Homo-oligomer: A and B are copies of this chain.
């Protein structure tokens, strides 16, 4: 059993999906085949890339899609849906094809990261939940990956449940953080259901429950001699917390043959306190005792305190990770890319008053080019589906906006990134386990150049269009300009 697995979230949908569905039904368009893409426009925190996540929960949602009696009853009360349509919903069964980029993959703006093809009512209806799921987990995986990279090899734990935006903000947030590279979580249910290692020791209240800090430490050490990390900032880190921790280590652990695990500092000047604490622990004969810190950390603070020479072995990151505080929205959208008429694909484009809201028309595939020598990712190319890329020959990339910017690539191999996960409503994708996704994420991030990875002014990774797709877009643009 796993959290949320039994939930039917069919009705977690924007109401307009239902008014449109009924409209298509009334207009006799319910069998019209449509193609929708999910893509995003801007990388959170001005980063160089994002991390795809949420595919597993998207599959769980699609597998259970079903209008039950209560849903139909509710819809009937609205008084705007025809009885025929309500009967149609009763029998509603998802029959679309779906392609998605595997979880853990670095993704870039304007790339199709999910494509849904099928009868327009179905393909349209799933918009809200697909976006919600992919937006949420990609946001947190992306943020976690930034924080993990800032920690430069030191483990990062996800500590944010109490500040998450709702239950699955906490649970699926912990899942996404693990994909992004966290070593574990404080959230017990995330371990029970997703096998994400959960850790935890004590709150300040534990200390306060005892007459003195030392007695609190002793009691804890007696219960957990094998896993003893003390929270040392309840009264005063250097004058009370660390000395008492050392005393308790010496009294309760050493005589019984145990070594201390660590101390945790949750407030104050982390750099100063960690350096002093490190010195005190080393002098007391505990150089193996780790220093854990937690207190409104994020990638910027972690980078800063490490530059200052803070002595930290493990970071616990809470609210700023679990809400992606500095940028709490991953703005992926769901846009019509094509329809079919008599089996022929008719590409569609969305113009807008805002230029960046322009869409890439047609049924598409996404390719990643890797340099054969270094293994590094060179560029992504969006093509029309069915186009092949011959990676035995040089390929000319060109910028879709500034087409004079061109680059010939050689000695590369090209990999398709969109994988089929549903075939006519049947899931055909075997979800990798979470640990595998996490490893894959690390490997894939390693294929990016340092210039793409950096936090400040990262290099804009090339996402180019094939000549065919670019020409199609130009043609549709010209047709749609309203004079």
Chain A residues close to B by CB (< 8 Å): 1, 3-4, 7, 9, 11-20, 22-24, 26-27, 29, 32, 34, 36, 70-71, 74, 80, 120, 124, 127-128, 131-132, 135-136, 139-140, 159, 161-173, 186-189, 191-192, 198-206, 208-209, 219-220, 222-224, 226-227, 233-237, 239-240, 267-269, 273, 319-320, 323-325, 328-331, 334-336, 339, 348, 350-354, 357, 480, 482-483
Q: Is the CB of B167 within 8 A of A12?
A: yes
Q: Is the CB of B70 within 8 A of A132?
A: no
For A349, the closest partner residue in chain B by CB is: B208
Q: Is the CB of B124 within 8 A of A205?
A: yes
Shortest C-beta distance, A173 to chain B (Å), equals: 7
Q: Is the CB of A162 within 8 A of B205?
A: no
Copies per complex of this chain: 2
Q: Is the CB of A237 within 8 A of B329?
A: no
Which of A71, A124, A136, A357 has the most B CB atoms < 10 Å from its CB?
A136
Q: Is the CB of B203 within 8 A of A136?
A: no
Which of A7, A71, A161, A269 has the most B CB atoms < 10 Å from its CB?
A161
Besides the known contacts A16-B203, A132-B170, 18 further A-B residue pairs in the complex with CB atoms under 8 A apart: A4-B7, A9-B167, A11-B188, A11-B189, A14-B186, A16-B186, A23-B224, A24-B209, A27-B222, A127-B162, A135-B162, A135-B163, A136-B165, A166-B172, A234-B350, A236-B351, A239-B483, A273-B353
Shortest C-beta distance, A212 to chain B (Å), equals: 11
Q: Is the CB of B166 within 8 A of A173?
A: yes
User: Can you list 30 residue pairs at the A/B interface with Cβ under 8 Å?
Assistant: A1-B70, A3-B12, A4-B7, A4-B167, A7-B167, A9-B167, A12-B187, A14-B162, A14-B186, A15-B199, A16-B186, A16-B201, A17-B188, A17-B200, A22-B223, A26-B223, A27-B223, A34-B205, A80-B227, A124-B205, A140-B165, A166-B169, A167-B168, A204-B336, A208-B350, A233-B353, A267-B353, A319-B331, A323-B323, A323-B329
Q: Which of B162, B186, B269 contacts A15 (CB 8 A)?
A: B186
